[in-house]
Amino acid sequence: SSSSLGLSRVSWCAHGCVCGVSGDLTAAMAKGLSLQFFCLSFIMLPAEAIIHANYKLCFSVLLVGTAYFVSAGAAIAVLIGALFSVLATCGIGPFSLPRYCGPLDVFLGRSYRASTLTPDQTANNNVSLTSFGDKLVIAYRKADSHFASQNAKCVVATGSAEDLETWNIIWEHSTGEDDLREMLLFELSGKLFLYYARLEPNKNGFVARSMQWTCTSDLKTWKKPEDVGRVTEIAWDIKVQKDSSGQEVAYKASYIGNHYATNAVVTVLFEQSTDGFTWSPVGEKAEVYTGGISEVSFAFTAQGDLVAVGRNEDGDRTGFGSQLFFARAGDLGHWQHLPVSMPQRFDFPRMMRMAGDELLLFARYARQSFAMVPSWMPMELQRIGNILLYSCLPKGGAVYRIVPPDAKGWQIDMEGLPEDMPFTPILQRGRHRLLLSNEAARRRRGRVGDCQLLFDVPFARPVDLRSGLRHRHLRVPLPHFEKKQ
């Protein structure tokens, strides 16, 4: 029989061995940039024009121009068409997954602006959030647009749990030659570390150069940034937990490769560190998966097992969409994965464990499957088609609850939120309370820019109240992972 995702219910085993990093990485990147250049050029040019346009002025000019050059009837038709266009966005289409009614409920509370307003740098994204001492610390990218730019800089600000309205900038960094993004904050051995990626400042692509780090012990003096890791490596998730001896260990999930290329081959790495800048493989080797997975977030269960979710945007032998990974506590370097990717694409995944063994995933959600292009078509056409079609879809934010396996297998429950909210960092503030941030588009003086909004969110269990949000509880049964004997 088949599951609700249309995946075969067999023993879900990890493929034999994970391939290492293949060939000359630089040469592979040089040959495979055509997909990235084509897709981003197709998206970037109109996107830049739309972002920096004055919408009221554009509509007025279009309306007056239609009336003057065509006819008054044509102008009325434009008005009616605009009305139907607005009404069309109000409908809620059917979900691609079965409905689930569970006890988890989310109440989205008051929002707080954490980023600064800068007229010539309207993009504030790639945020990371943590606590250090008695302070809340946020790091984010500030630039003129979401696309790669040499004007990008890293901004670090502090606030307090009692006053989420006030944020004081304590450190800024830019090179004038690189695009800086993918900030990650974590505390290890009394120091606050900041990781970020350096990219080429090319608006037609996202080509990683290297990863850098800095740290501070007092939020005043910061170490001069230094390179760390491999060429093109981008760290997506770093978590710290104590080992059996009580020593703090940082675990890092990152990826390297020619992401977005027509011949994309991306390798996921899983490494550990006790000092925050010297990394070694958790298992026999750092590579835990090679294919189309890039952004991977993970969490540890109460038993010490690892559960991870990765975005399979480039596609591979398992398909397109997202992958679910699992590793036993005694063998964290051996990741098992689904033989067929889930067709849903979980953008910007961020995982955490709540009190007990509650695993939550914060990610973007689209009702339609990401794998829209038929699988019998060439892989290059699937990559181009899936990315372009998915870019045109309406999306929303979602909180997913990953349920440990029972007799029927793994389950993923989902609660949808009513707007496009790509969650990034999450900070637990109690047993049933979270502080999370998201990138939100806000209009200012006729233009659109991103700002970092913080949400103080209570999680209720069992549900005793209902908020005004649209709730969508979905359940995705996934069979057990079993090792090959």
Task: List, in order, residues 6 or more apart from 86 with CB less than 8 Å away.
Answer: none
Among the listed residues 317, 267, 318, the one whose alpha carbon sits nearest the alpha carbon of residue 293: 267
Which contacts of 142-147 are long-range, i.e. CB under 8 A and separated by 24 or more positions? Answer: 142/115, 142/116, 142/118, 143/179, 144/120, 145/48, 145/51, 145/203, 146/450, 147/40, 147/44, 147/47, 147/48, 147/203
147: phi then psi, degrees, rounded to nearest 5? -75, 160
Task: List, in order, residues 6 or more apart from 366 with CB less than 8 Å away.
Answer: 344, 345, 390, 393, 394, 395, 396
Cα 255 to Cα 398: distance, rounded to the nearest angstrom: 24
Structure confidence at residue 21 (pLDDT): 38
Q: Is the pLDDT of residue 6 over 50?
A: no
178-187 pLDDT per residue, tens: 999 999 999 9
Structure confidence at residue 102 (pLDDT): 57
User: Is residue 5 very low, low, confident or very high in pLDDT (cuts 50, 70, 90)?
Assistant: very low
No. of helices (H) and no. of strands (E), the chain: 5, 27
390-449 pLDDT per residue, tens: 888 877 777 787 876 666 666 776 655 544 555 555 666 555 556 666 665 554 443 444
Reduced DSSP (H G I as helix, E B as strand, rest coil) percent helix, strand, coil of the chain, to 5? 15, 45, 40
Indicate the DSSP class of residue 252. E
Q: Which stretch of DSSP H or E encloses residue 106? A: strand 105-106
State what percent of residues in the chain have pLDDT above 70: 68
Among the listed residues 309, 329, 331, the one whose alpha carbon sits nearest the alpha carbon of residue 321: 309
287-308 pLDDT per residue, tens: 999 999 999 999 999 889 999 9
State what percent of residues in the chain have pLDDT above 90: 36
Cα 398 to Cα 366: distance, rounded to the nearest angstrom: 9
Among the listed residues 370, 392, 382, the one whose alpha carbon sits nearest the alpha carbon of residue 316: 382
Q: Which residue has the higher pLDDT, 351 or 16?
A: 351
Cα 292 to Cα 280: distance, rounded to the nearest angstrom: 23
Among the listed residues 350, 352, 373, 370, the one whose alpha carbon sits nearest the alpha carbon of residue 362: 350
Task: Please identify which residue in the block is written with the tokens 């004007």.
Answer: 151
Give the highest mean pLDDT range of 191-195, 353-357, 465-469: 191-195
Q: What angle do CA 116, 117, 123 make, to 5 degrees?
A: 90
What sign results for the dihedral spanned by CA atoms 325, 414, 303, 425?
positive
317-372 pLDDT per residue, tens: 999 999 999 999 989 999 999 889 988 888 889 998 876 677 888 888 787 889 89
Q: Which residue has the higher pLDDT, 47 or 324?
A: 324
Q: Which of 247-256, 390-399, 435-444, 472-481 has the lowest mean pLDDT?
A: 472-481
- Cα torsion 272, 273, 278, 282 to 10°: value is -20
Distance of CA 236 to the CA centre of its chain: 8
Cα 100 to Cα 107: distance, rounded to the nearest angstrom: 18
Structure confidence at residue 28 (pLDDT): 43
Structure confidence at residue 84 (pLDDT): 83
72-99 pLDDT per residue, tens: 999 899 888 888 877 776 655 555 544 4
Are 451 and 117 in contact, with CB atoms under 8 Å apart? yes
